[in-house]
Structure 1
């Protein structure tokens, strides 16, 4: 029993050591190719008694010192290398995919075994893309589909030399066989190819041309020579441009009237005053059916001996002028307000003198001298700030005095005066009635005056009186 156990242990040890006899799999080959299963066995003086190759557990080849036996179906496809016990299998079929094992028994009774797997793939072929072209408007959608023959295929989309990747507008579905643009942009335009590959082969489709039409945009006119005016008899060239695909059609207009001439350039030769006007061009895209007009460009033709028209005033000068005017008005108003406020304060703070001195004046028609008192009726022009509730006037408008009454009751009517009369004090009566204008007691003294001078301006007289009151 012990010798039997020894033999089993030795055999199991030999099998374990032979696990790396063949390379790791899977070995990948294309249909129709050949594969060679190279063993790690090295030639020795030890005689090999038997070599057995198996596929999926079934013998496909057995070699002994006497002869070699090949299973039917493999006769013309197997080549055996006895020095290393390796095997080559030709004209591979997809059915050849699976596990292969080798078992080597030497004359000493030692056994070596190894295994690996083979994957026979169908080569890539017949790669096509549909549609084979696409003429689109910007923001439209399009789907490209790639198809191919072969096994274990991998799909890759390229735009020129750049790989196409998924984004919010680009979708790759069906294991990357389908490329979908939900909204194409002008930057998606290009030549697209579908790359198909597997571990044993690869192939590329024909190019697919995607054209994206847009515009026109940014339509504009350039003038050559570019200057504010042009001389009589000179030549002017106007060029229209626009951002558009395909290139747009151009029509020219002057003062909104279409010209007969079409095209990118408009040439005005031997210009006259009749060429003056606002020129513009309209760009039309036949693919998008969009028309965009350029901003008008003024053309001014003038006699070269005449000076050019003056440049328009700069807006900065206008703004500065307005600011200065506003500042002067505001400053003048503020100064007037402060002066008036100061004057009113002096008038309101000055005490009312009920005992007025005698007033001197020259209101009579002759040069006789007299003194006396008079009473006059005056319409008030202002009310003292402190006596607003009593209706007491704040100041007297002397130009409004038409008559006055003496103490004896005699009323004197004042007419036009040729001499200047100076009123120094006016005393208001106590307890004036609120229902009638107040009366004032005026003390006057008649004095001799020089020869009458031209009548003074009432405003000057009023200013002088105000000055005396303030002093």
Structure 2
């Protein structure tokens, strides 16, 4: 159950005509049922006809729309406190040809509320005996909301290793069913939900969300971060600055890097020593002495 949600939406009933009446009096509704979005404007139309009895001219016709209760306890919408602020009706001029008179009327209900869900009937009267007629059973109006809930899920969730299979699914409470648009880092994707990565890659890492839309509204989901970790972790590389020979009393910085995704944690050791020298990607040694000389190495550890 359009894109502009409730604001400014106008629903016209263009369904197969529904005829109510007998051979002499008749009301033809443009539809017997209509579903509209809360907050929108709906237009319900009908035509009516009756015999042109010359002896009762002038044929002054009074028209009104009725709802609430049954046909024996109708309510004039334009004079009812629950409706008169957001209801208006308009009727065309009555025309009589070949002993029949015809008229048209339209009821517009603005800023629809859930309480407006009801059966609406058109009634007209004229100055002659038994000159009143109400078209039954009328038009059933159902007021609903657009999508109110939408979510996107990843299976599996959390850190996902490169090469594994991942499915992103999107769901909503849209009625009728919604059409979905997927986004990665706010860029639209040509996907249909659910979407499966048979073998996820590091470049698939990013923020995903979906957008649900039907003719009665639209809604965007929460965002989910697809964290793809590298399936193969290569040996970290070590560099030294400044390079070349190092003079006693100077400083030197050792740097460690790896292809870990997400970023690794680094620990520095000196060869033949068990104690940790430094934590972090860089290890700076100041005031170099001969005792500090030797082979240094780093260990990287990535958490999936």
| TM-score, L = length of structure 1 | 0.38
Larger RCO, structures 1/2 (Cα 8 Å, 6+ apart): 2
Deviations 1:122-157 (A, max 9, x none): 522211223595322222222222221221410111
**Which residue of 2 is the match for residue 135 of structure 1?**
159
* Structure 1: distance between partners of 2:223 and 2:262: 21
Bigger Rg, structure 1 or 2: 1
Establish whether residue 82 from structure 1 lines up as the match of residue 91 from structure 2.
yes
Q: 1:269 aligns with which of 244, 268, 286?
A: 286
Structure with the bigger percentage of helix: 1
- After superposition, the Cα gap between the structure-2 partners of 1:286 and 1:28, relative to the gap in structure 1 and judged at 3 Å, is closer
SS at match of 2:203: helix
Establish whether residue 55 from structure 1 lines up as the match of residue 80 from structure 2.
no
* Structure 2: distance between partners of 1:62 and 1:213: 70
**Which residue of 2 is the match for residue 242 of structure 1?**
258
Are the counterparts in 2 of residues 60 and 70 from structure 1 also a CA contact under 8 Å?
Answer: no
Establish whether residue 208 from structure 1 lines up as the match of residue 235 from structure 2.
no
* Structure 2: distance between partners of 1:28 and 1:281: 57
- After superposition, the Cα gap between the structure-2 partners of 1:255 and 1:34, relative to the gap in structure 1 and judged at 3 Å, is closer
Deviations 1:141-177 (A, max 9, x none): 22222221221410111112122345xxxxxxxxx33
List gaps (5 residues or longer) in structure 2.
Answer: 15-24, 34-44, 50-58, 69-74, 78-82, 94-103, 119-140
Question: What is the deviation of 1:255?
Answer: 4.4
Question: What is the deviation of 1:185?
Answer: 1.7
- After superposition, the Cα gap between the structure-2 partners of 1:164 and 1:134, relative to the gap in structure 1 and judged at 3 Å, is farther
Q: 1:158 aligns with which of 153, 178, 183?
A: 183
Are the counterparts in 2 of residues 31 and 92 from structure 1 also a CA contact under 8 Å?
Answer: no
List gaps (5 residues or longer) in structure 1.
Answer: 1-26, 39-49, 97-117, 167-175, 288-471
Are the counterparts in 2 of residues 216 and 284 from structure 1 also a CA contact under 8 Å?
Answer: no
Are the counterparts in 2 of residues 139 and 184 from structure 1 also a CA contact under 8 Å?
Answer: yes
Are the counterparts in 2 of residues 252 and 258 from structure 1 also a CA contact under 8 Å?
Answer: no
- After superposition, the Cα gap between the structure-2 partners of 1:233 and 1:144, relative to the gap in structure 1 and judged at 3 Å, is same
- After superposition, the Cα gap between the structure-2 partners of 1:70 and 1:234, relative to the gap in structure 1 and judged at 3 Å, is closer
SS at match of 1:231: coil
SS at match of 1:129: strand
**Which residue of 2 is the match for residue 223 of structure 1?**
240
Are the counterparts in 1 of residues 3 and 213 from structure 2 also a CA contact under 8 Å?
Answer: no
- After superposition, the Cα gap between the structure-2 partners of 1:178 and 1:232, relative to the gap in structure 1 and judged at 3 Å, is same
Question: What is the deviation of 1:193?
Answer: 0.9
* Structure 2: distance between partners of 1:265 and 1:178: 44
Deviations 1:250-285 (A, max 9, x none): 233444655521322223333233444333322121
* Structure 1: distance between partners of 2:161 and 2:28: 64
Establish whether residue 191 from structure 1 lines up as the match of residue 197 from structure 2.
no
**Which residue of 2 is the match for residue 280 of structure 1?**
297
* Structure 2: distance between partners of 1:88 and 1:270: 91
Q: 1:144 aligns with which of 152, 155, 168?
A: 168
| TM-score, L = length of structure 2 | 0.56
**Which residue of 1 is the match for residue 42 of structure 2?**
none
Structure with the bigger percentage of strand: 2
* Structure 2: distance between partners of 1:66 and 1:244: 83
- After superposition, the Cα gap between the structure-2 partners of 1:258 and 1:121, relative to the gap in structure 1 and judged at 3 Å, is same
- Count of aligned pairs between the two proteins: 219
* Structure 2: distance between partners of 1:237 and 1:165: 48
Q: 1:66 aligns with which of 51, 61, 75?
A: 61
The root-mean-square deviation of aligned C-alpha atoms, in Å, is: 4.3
* Structure 1: distance between partners of 2:32 and 2:294: 97
**Which residue of 2 is the match for residue 114 of structure 1?**
none
SS at match of 2:158: strand
